Structures are given as structure tokens and as C-alpha cells.
Amino acid sequence: MYKWIMFVIFAAASALGIYLMATQLPEKPVDEAASLPPGTVMVKIEANADFTFDQPEYKVKKGDKVILKLVNKSGIHGVAIPDLEVDLQGDKMEQEITVDQAGKFEMHCSIMCGTGHADMKSYLVVE
């Protein structure tokens, strides 16, 4: 008799597990760049708790409309590019700019985030 009870409990738990796995899966990632108009480029900047950005350089072309988007993977960070008047932090995590001059522009974290804050730098390269 106990074998039947254990079998029913096991079957119910298995069915519940399969149901939860099928219905609670995360949504597929959306490619935000695919819906942008021609001539517009999205630059996604990911900031990490180890005081780094995900890339040492982000490259765009002169004349492009650029949407800069900051994603904090871990920790609380900001991005500032003083020469292009960009400051992403707080509620403003995205900004659209038009780059009309070639060059290499330094970007740095604009929020005091810890001991490695001063070294948290990257570059926006406009070709």
C-alpha cells in the first residue's frame, strides 16, 4: 500500500516539475538593434562589479546616430563622456547622440562605486 502512495506522490511531483519548467522559462532575449532605423547604431555598455566595462573600446562611424545604453550587470555605475556631453546614471540609462567628429573619446564611471572607481575607463572610438 505504501508503494502506491509513494508512486502517486512521485508522479504528482514529476508532473508539477514538468509544468513549472514549461511555464516558468525566461523570455527569449530581444535584439533591440534589429528594430532601429537605418543609420542608427546601438552601443550597449555593460558595467561590472569588478570596476570594468565589458569592452575596452566601442567603435562607431562618423555621422551615425548612436544610442548609448548602460546596463549595470552588477553594482551601481554610470557612464560619462564629457567631450560628447553624455552622462548616463540614475533614471537616465540611455541617450541618443549624433557623432559628427572623428576621434577617441574617453568614457568613465560617473558614480563613485568603490575602490576601483578611478580605473573604470573605456573609449568610444569614432572612425
H or E element, residue 16: helix 2-23
Question: What share of the chain in percent tops pLDDT 70?
Answer: 96
Examine residue 47 and state whether it is found in any structural domain, yes or no: yes
Helices vs. strands in the chain: H and E counts, helices first: 1, 9
pLDDT at residue 33 tops 70: no
Examine residue 89 and state whether it is found in any structural domain, yes or no: yes
Measured distance CA(29)–CA(38) in Å, rounded: 22
pTM over 0.75: no
What local confidence, expressed as pLDDT, does residue 56 receive?
92
pLDDT at residue 1 tops 70: no
Tell me the per-residue pLDDT of 54-100, one tens digit each, with 9 for 90 and over.
Answer: 889 999 998 889 888 988 887 788 899 998 888 888 888 888 888 88
pLDDT at residue 28 tops 80: no
Examine residue 100 and state whether it is found in any structural domain, yes or no: yes
Examine residue 74 and state whether it is found in any structural domain, yes or no: yes
| Whole-Å CA distances, 79 to 25, 29, 59 | 32, 24, 16
What local confidence, expressed as pLDDT, does residue 58 receive?
92
Domain region containing 119: 40-126
| Whole-Å CA distances, 69 to 18, 72, 95 | 37, 10, 7
Examine residue 88 and state whether it is found in any structural domain, yes or no: yes
- CATH number for the domain harbouring residue 49: 2.60.40.420
Examine residue 4 and state whether it is found in any structural domain, yes or no: no
Examine residue 116 and state whether it is found in any structural domain, yes or no: yes
Based on the structure, what is the number of domains in the chain?
A: 1
| Residues contacting 3, CB < 8 A, separation 6+ | none
Examine residue 63 and state whether it is found in any structural domain, yes or no: yes
